[in-house]
């Protein structure tokens, strides 16, 4: 009987997915809480047929070379794939998988939770109580913004952006979106607008676009200058879409009202970052998709991509299907 193909899994993923992979292949599992270093990655992929990696692992052209010609698949345990240089994998005929769809609702729920928390100052109010500042009920204490009738601007109108719009419509918000590639649906109450219109008309802005050269620092000093003074900015997409120094200035000077970041640049945010001094900023550690069942589904989808790839079958969710046209 021939030995099972070997795969490298770069972190302990939820058991439902890990078991699928362990039952199928010979798994080399990285069990540390922190990601493997670059050197360790390059060593551990040597001779593997498949790699199941996380968004904290960089996969570029060097990696398939270090792995060897038997590498058949890279499966990312995330929907975003800016950690992977996809053309480098495509050039070698290696399919790359991701986990779209299943985390849409969890991510949109969390983006909406952050929006409400920032607009109504929930985290700041909790700190106010815990630091003994609550002396009495006050008519002007911790005032925030109303939702009904306000305008939400969504940047990136894919699956998650549209799920955010559905939530916002339930709260009687007007929804506009900026997405150069989205084709407007005739009955969609959300309206497609230019970036300039979105920046100048939105009371709330939520980012749902992938990170690319076109979206890196899309929210820069110029963008903040166009926003309303009561604007609340939420980012559950990728940290580098915001120029964080420009965000710092905008929040510090009151150019905008508040922000909430699930993602930062870099991650984790260094403890000496000036952003941590700001009362009107919420920062959480990249957990928008972190519900139990969503993470189970992500692990199972990443496992299914890995297993199919090692078997030489088409990945259920493939980012670079061009590899199959060869
Ligand atoms: C999380 O950020 C993901 O891309 O799945």
Q: Which of 75, 79, 291 to mutate to test the pocket of ligand 1 (most atoms within 8 A of CB)?
A: 79
∠ CA(24), CA(317), CA(237), 5° rounding?
A: 115
113 lines ligand 1 (CB under 6 A): no
103 lines ligand 1 (CB under 6 A): yes
204 CA to middle of ligand 1, Å? 22
Token look-up 């001779």 returns 47
140 CA to middle of ligand 1, Å? 39
* Residue 40 sits in the same domain as residue 164: no
* Residue 147 sits in the same domain as residue 79: no
Q: What is the pTM of this model?
A: 0.96
Dist. CA 51–CA 10, nearest whole Å: 8
* Residue 109 sits in the same domain as residue 248: yes
The reported pLDDT for the residue numbered 2 is 64
Helix then strand count (H, E) for the chain reads 11, 12
Percent helix / strand / coil, the chain, rounded to 5? 35, 15, 50
78 lines ligand 1 (CB under 6 A): yes
The DSSP letter of residue 70 is T
The total number of structural domains in the chain stands at 2
202 lines ligand 1 (CB under 6 A): no
78 CA to middle of ligand 1, Å? 4
pLDDT per residue rounded down to tens, the chain (326 residues): 568 999 999 999 999 999 999 999 999 999 999 999 999 999 999 999 999 999 999 999 999 999 999 999 999 999 999 999 999 999 999 999 999 999 999 999 999 999 999 999 999 999 999 999 999 999 999 999 999 999 999 999 999 999 999 999 999 999 999 999 999 999 999 999 999 999 999 999 999 999 999 999 999 999 999 999 999 999 999 999 999 999 999 999 999 999 999 999 999 999 999 999 999 999 999 999 999 999 999 999 999 999 999 999 999 999 999 999 97
26, 7 in Cβ contact below 8 A?
A: yes
For residue 9, give both structure tokens: 């899994």
277, 270 in Cβ contact below 8 A?
A: no
Provide the CATH number for the domain around residue 298.
Answer: 3.40.50.720
Catalytic positions, please?
238, 267, 286
239 lines ligand 1 (CB under 6 A): no
* Residue 112 sits in the same domain as residue 96: no
Please tell me the residue having the least CA distance from ligand 1 atom 1: 78
Tell me whether residue 262 is in a domain: yes
Report how far apart, in Å, the C-alpha atoms of 165 and of each of 81, 122, 150 are.
23, 22, 13
The H or E element that residue 26 is part of is strand 26-29
Please tell me the residue having the least CA distance from ligand 1 atom 5: 78
84 lines ligand 1 (CB under 6 A): no
Q: Would you tell me how many other CB atoms lie within 10 Å of the CB of residue 11?
A: 19
Tell me whether residue 1 is in a domain: no
* Residue 237 sits in the same domain as residue 111: yes
53 CA to middle of ligand 1, Å? 12
Phi and psi at 51, nearest 5°, equal -125, 125
The closest alpha carbon to 200, from 218, 177, 225, belongs to: 225
* Residue 67 sits in the same domain as residue 189: no
The reported pLDDT for the residue numbered 1 is 53
The closest alpha carbon to 160, from 194, 217, 207, 195, belongs to: 207
Tell me whether residue 249 is in a domain: yes
* Residue 218 sits in the same domain as residue 316: no
298, 99 in Cβ contact below 8 A?
A: yes
237 CA to middle of ligand 1, Å? 8
Please tell me the residue having the least CA distance from ligand 1 atom 3: 78
47 lines ligand 1 (CB under 6 A): no
The reported pLDDT for the residue numbered 324 is 96
Tell me whether residue 92 is in a domain: yes
DSSP string of 98-143, one letter each residue: ---STTHHHHHHHHHHHHHHHHTTHHHHHHHHHTT---S--TTTT-
* Residue 269 sits in the same domain as residue 300: no
Tell me the residue range of the domain where 188 lies.
Answer: 104-283
The closest alpha carbon to 73, from 55, 56, 59, belongs to: 59
* Residue 310 sits in the same domain as residue 278: no
289 lines ligand 1 (CB under 6 A): yes
* Residue 109 sits in the same domain as residue 252: yes
* Residue 135 sits in the same domain as residue 54: no
Tell me whether residue 140 is in a domain: yes
Tell me whether residue 60 is in a domain: yes
79 lines ligand 1 (CB under 6 A): yes
77 CA to middle of ligand 1, Å? 8
Tell me whether residue 116 is in a domain: yes
Please tell me the residue having the least CA distance from ligand 1 atom 4: 80
For residue 279, give both structure tokens: 């009362």
The reported pLDDT for the residue numbered 326 is 77
Token look-up 């894919």 returns 158
96, 319 in Cβ contact below 8 A?
A: yes
Q: Would you tell me how many other CB atoms lie within 10 Å of the CB of residue 285?
A: 12
63, 10 in Cβ contact below 8 A?
A: no
* Residue 136 sits in the same domain as residue 257: yes
């Amino acid at each position: 009987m021939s030995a099972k193909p070997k795969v490298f899994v770069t972190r302990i993923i939820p058991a439902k997915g890990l078991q699928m992979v362990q039952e199928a292949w010979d798994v080399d599992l990285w069990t540390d809480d922190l990601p493997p270093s670059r050197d360790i990655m390059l060593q551990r992929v040597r001779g593997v047929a498949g790699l199941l990696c996380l968004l904290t692992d960089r996969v570029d052209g060097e990696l398939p070379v270090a792995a060897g010609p038997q590498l058949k698949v890279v499966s990312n345990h995330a929907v975003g794939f800016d950690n992977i240089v996809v053309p480098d994998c495509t050039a070698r005929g290696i399919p790359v998988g991701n986990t779209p769809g299943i985390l849409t609702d969890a991510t949109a729920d969390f983006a909406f939770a952050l929006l409400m928390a920032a607009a109504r100052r929930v985290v700041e109010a909790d700190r106010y109580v815990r630091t003994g500042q609550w002396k009495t009920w006050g008519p002007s204490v911790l005032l925030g913004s109303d939702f009904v009738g306000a305008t939400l601007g969504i940047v990136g109108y894919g699956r998650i952006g549209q799920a955010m719009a559905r939530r916002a419509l339930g709260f009687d918000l007007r929804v506009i979106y900026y997405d150069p590639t989205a084709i407007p649906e005739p009955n969609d109450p959300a309206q497609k607008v230019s970036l300039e219109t979105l920046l100048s008309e939105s009371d709330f802005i939520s980012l749902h676009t992938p990170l690319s050269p076109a979206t890196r620092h899309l929210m820069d000093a110029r963008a903040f200058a166009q926003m309303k003074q009561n604007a609340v900015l939420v980012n559950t997409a990728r940290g580098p879409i915001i120029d964080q120094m420009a965000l710092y200035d905008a929040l510090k000077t009151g150019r905008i009202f508040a922000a909430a970041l699930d993602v930062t640049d870099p991650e984790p945010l260094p403890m000496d970052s000036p952003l941590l001094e700001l009362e009107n900023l919420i920062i959480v550690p990249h957990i928008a998709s972190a519900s139990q069942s969503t993470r189970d589904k992500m692990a199972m989808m990443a496992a299914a991509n890995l297993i199919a790839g090692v078997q030489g079958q088409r990945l259920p969710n493939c980012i670079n299907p061009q590899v199959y046209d060869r």
